[in-house]
Structure 1
């Protein structure tokens, strides 16, 4: 374990200097989670840009891919899974359809509905992009042992469940 101080340590030390009555452990945890999320979000955005898509667009195509064959969901299902408004989803679908990564067709079971399906081009792109993204994430974890990654995963799962 490293004893190196980071920017979050500096912030909590400043708070201790002016408000020694505060318990800053939560600030230390969430300050680091926030900084990690921002840094990794930027890294993933750069990674997916090589494939001509944004992180948000990756999420749409990846959701279709991991849904399994026939790689088809309704816009409503996609919106719910990705926690997006229908307007936000429509913009992403428009761009991805224009790029040839997915197509929208009428739902044969609901005259008013649509189905979104990944195209062969989208399938090839997402399979390559997800591998590249995992490499970026794996590289970020190189400072941890496999056991530490397992412990961190469990701790973050418990933290997320509590929030």
Structure 2
């Protein structure tokens, strides 16, 4: 019984016949990750769009929702979680306030600071979006058993931790 092949197999096979001197095993993994990432991006955009959210809005609102009741964070905490610049975050908060998905409140601990708080409408939208997202992502993984998903998650975590450690470590001399 032969193993089914996909587009990556075709591409790697073609390269292998043209450049037999190279090891194409990295392409077998990372080209599939790239192709799957495109499917994931599409599924996420659709889930967010159905909740009338842009991906950047999802990033901010989901950070606030994950914070738990009272669903608020400082702009600095939002910066850390969303990995954008201070100016970008200010602009995003302004736009979310205008859409009434978040509000600014004085920080009760430090009156000079503000907290960004998720509104009821923001919470409704982010909750709907996460439900749609989880459903869409489950469909993307339907061909894998629970144990296959667990193994894949463990392998991807290992790869991700390697990248995270490399980005924190100073470059080698």
TM-score (norm: length of structure 1): 0.91
Residue 28 (str. 1) matches residue 32 (str. 2): no
Q: Identify the range of structure 1 (1-10 vs 116-125) with the bigger mean alpha-carbon deviation.
A: 1-10
- Structure 2 counterpart of 1:148: 148
Deviation >6 Å, runs of 4+: none
Q: Equivalences for 1:118-137 in 2 at 5 Å?
A: 118-137=118-137
Give me the whole-angstrom Cα distance separating, in 2, the residues matched to 1:7 and 1:147: 25
Separation in structure 1 between the aligned mates of residue 72 and residue 106 of structure 2, nearest angstrom? 12
Equivalent residue number for residue 62 of structure 1: 62
Q: Distance in 2 between the 1:29 and 1:151 partners?
A: 15
How far off is 1:111 after superposition? 4.7
Partner of 1:117: 117
Deviations 1:115-163 (A, max 9, x none): 1010111112211211111000011111111111111111111111122
| Mapped partners of 1:56, 1:86: distance in 2 | 14
Q: How many residues get paired? A: 163
**Whole-angstrom CA distance in 2 between matches of 1:4 and 1:86:** 48
Q: How much does 1:92 deviate?
A: 2.2
Deviations 1:66-98 (A, max 9, x none): 111221111111111111112222232222211
Q: Which stretches in structure 1 are left out of the alignment for 5+ residues?
A: none
C-alpha displacement at 1:38, in angstroms? 1.7
1:53 is the counterpart of 2:59 = no
Q: CA RMSD in A?
A: 1.8
| Runs of 5+ consecutive residues of structure 2 not aligned to the other structure | 164-173
Match of 2:166 in 1: none
- TM-score if structure 2 supplies the norm length? 0.86
SS of 2:27's equivalent in the other structure is helix
Note closer, same or farther for the CA distance 1:2–1:90 as it changes in structure 2 (3 Å cut): farther
C-alpha separation in 1, matches of 2:109 and 2:24: 55
Q: 2:52–2:125: 8 Å Cα contact kept in structure 1? A: no
